[in-house]
């Protein structure tokens, strides 16, 4: 992506506006999932997100594609891929080649069920150009076991094969399209699926999610089923089904998932398992911090555990889980660290969403020791009193710390559908959207561009670096996808 050097003050201002547009889009693609939030409905979220995607696709197509290399969520990654494929004719051959590499690399890291839903959406929208078929073919060819996909994602695989007119092995084709054509399958998983329709024991040879449906139809007791299927369950499946006891290996869980699991437990369970949960959270945080552990100097955090951090019915406690994960990650990154929970809580393991949001008071507390870095994790809705945090931060930056000895960044886990962005605390405080606590270090780097002191050229240079790194890690030599 090449940027135009501003030749006038007007062009320089235009670049800054463009940079703000791009950052607004990045914030949205990190946080928004098109689901209901605490203060907005699903319809409002989807309409807002759809407008933003179309605006950036039309006006900043290279940046729109480059967003696939960032830590955006899966929902928006799928929307970007669909947008690029839907408008494939609106870029040149070099652009299609670059986009094809990014699309293939992103599909390689998306969950397979998400990719199959994307292929189904493309079929419904009538998107069936040559590049779309080539990308589908390459992705399917890279799947480690299509028989497993045929059992777990039968409808999705069948739709993808029909949509792209792709060939498959005769046995797999019979399983998907002519289920009564064979009395026996050579592949053990396909055969187990066939036998599970009339043999109770055969269901325990299937993946957990498939076996669960058979067990429910056969009336198998839940306890018996979970005990016998345990060897075939993944770590996440064990975590979802075994809510108590040390059966799941928590030390290997991702940080935000572990925080969500912790918050799903009662206060009594958390207290009883304090050593186990705290140890697992710190292990996950140190794993994320990696070589940067202890390198951030003196850090203070203001963490929002007010009532709005409870999220919504479809995103229960997500904002609070991000704050809890960020707490342990900042603890690992900092040389010295002090946390300030909005509620005044002193025990992070026992936090719960409750009360108003006196952000201003907690920001004052955090700044009292003049930390080298202040990180605020909040949805930005302050009500005790409204606007105090923004005023405190404005005065701190303009009167008390104009030399910026303390860097301040606001991490917001909630997309504001009305504002097409995450809600900000103050104009001079950079804000970035965050969905997973693990992404905090990279998002702090992105947030520097939100201070308004750098333009589109610097931002594009950053995106170029991220793109090169992403393709180096997840890309592969493409054959037809770039044509």
Q: What is the DSSP string of 58-107?
A: HH-HHHHHHGGGSS--HHHHHHHHHHHHHTGGGS-HHHHHHHHHHHHHHH
Select from 193, 213, 160, 81 the least CA-distant residue to 481: 81
Q: Three-state SS for 112? A: helix
336-341 and 298-303 as β-strands: parallel, antiparallel, unpaired? parallel
Report the C-alpha gap between 256 and 296 in whole angstroms: 21
Domains and CATH numbers, the chain: 1-184+454-483 (no CATH), 196-252 (no CATH), 255-435 (3.40.50)
Structure confidence at residue 187 (pLDDT): 95
- pLDDT < 70 positions in the chain: 1-13, 15-16, 242-249, 450-455, 476-483
Instruction: Report cis status (omega within 30 of 0) of the bond before 133.
Output: no
C-beta neighbour count of 252 within 10 angstroms? 12
The pLDDT assigned to 401 comes to 85
In this prediction, residue 60 carries a pLDDT of: 92
Strands 431-433 and 407-412: what pairing?
parallel
| pLDDT tens, position by position, 51-71 | 999 999 999 999 999 999 998
84-99 pLDDT, tens digit each: 999 998 999 999 999 9
* Cα–Cα distance measured from residue 28 to residue 84, given in angstroms and rounded to the nearest whole number: 18
Q: What is the model's pLDDT at position 445?
A: 80
């Amino acid at each position: 992506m090449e940027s135009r050097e501003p030749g006038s003050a007007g062009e320089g201002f235009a670049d800054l506006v463009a940079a703000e547009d791009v950052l607004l889009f990045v914030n949205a693609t990190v946080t928004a999932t098109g689901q209901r939030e605490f203060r907005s409905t699903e319809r409002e979220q989807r309409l807002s997100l759809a407008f933003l995607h179309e605006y950036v696709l039309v006006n900043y197509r290279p940046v729109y594609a480059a967003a696939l290399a960032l830590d955006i969520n899966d929902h928006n990654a799928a929307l970007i891929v669909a947008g690029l494929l839907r408008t494939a004719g609106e870029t040149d051959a070099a652009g299609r080649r670059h986009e094809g590499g990014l699309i293939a690399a992103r599909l390689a890291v998306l969950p397979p069920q998400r990719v199959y839903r994307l292929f189904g959406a493309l079929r419904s929208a009538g998107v069936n150009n040559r590049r779309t078929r080539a990308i589908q073919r390459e992705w399917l060819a890279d799947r480690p076991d299509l028989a497993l996909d045929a059992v777990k994602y039968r409808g999705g695989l069948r739709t993808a094969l029909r949509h792209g007119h792709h060939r498959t092995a005769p046995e797999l084709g019979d399983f998907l399209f002519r289920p009564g054509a064979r009395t026996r399958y050579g592949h053990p998983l396909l055969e187990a699926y066939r036998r599970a329709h009339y043999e109770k024991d055969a269901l325990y040879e299937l993946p957990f999610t498939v076996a669960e449906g058979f067990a429910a139809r056969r009336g198998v007791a839940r306890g018996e089923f979970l005990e016998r299927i345990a060897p075939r369950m993944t770590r996440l499946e064990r975590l979802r089904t075994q809510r108590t006891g040390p059966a799941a290996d928590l030390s290997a869980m991702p940080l935000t998932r572990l925080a969500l699991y912790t918050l799903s437990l009662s206060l009594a369970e958390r207290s009883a398992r304090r050593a186990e949960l705290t140890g697992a959270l710190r292990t996950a945080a140190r794993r994320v911090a990696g070589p940067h552990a202890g390198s951030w100097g003196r850090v203070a955090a203001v963490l929002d555990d007010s009532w709005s951090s409870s999220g919504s019915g479809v995103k229960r406690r997500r904002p609070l889980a991000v704050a809890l994960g960020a707490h342990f990650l900042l603890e690992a990154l900092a040389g010295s660290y002090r946390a300030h929970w909005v509620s005044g809580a002193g025990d992070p393991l026992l936090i719960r969403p409750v009360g108003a949001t006196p952000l201003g008071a907690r920001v004052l507390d955090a700044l009292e020791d003049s930390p080298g870095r202040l990180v605020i994790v909040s949805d930005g809705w302050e009500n005790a009193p409204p606007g105090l945090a923004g005023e405190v931060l404005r005065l701190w930056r303009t009167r008390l710390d104009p030399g910026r000895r303390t860097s301040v960044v606001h991490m917001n886990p909630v997309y504001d559908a009305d504002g097409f962005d995450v809600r900000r605390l103050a104009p001079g405080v950079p804000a970035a959207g965050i969905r997973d606590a693990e992404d905090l270090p990279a998002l702090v780097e992105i947030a520097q561009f939100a201070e308004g002191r750098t333009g589109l050229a610097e931002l594009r240079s950053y995106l170029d670096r991220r793109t090169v790194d992403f393709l180096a890690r997840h890309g592969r030599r493409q054959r037809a996808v770039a044509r």
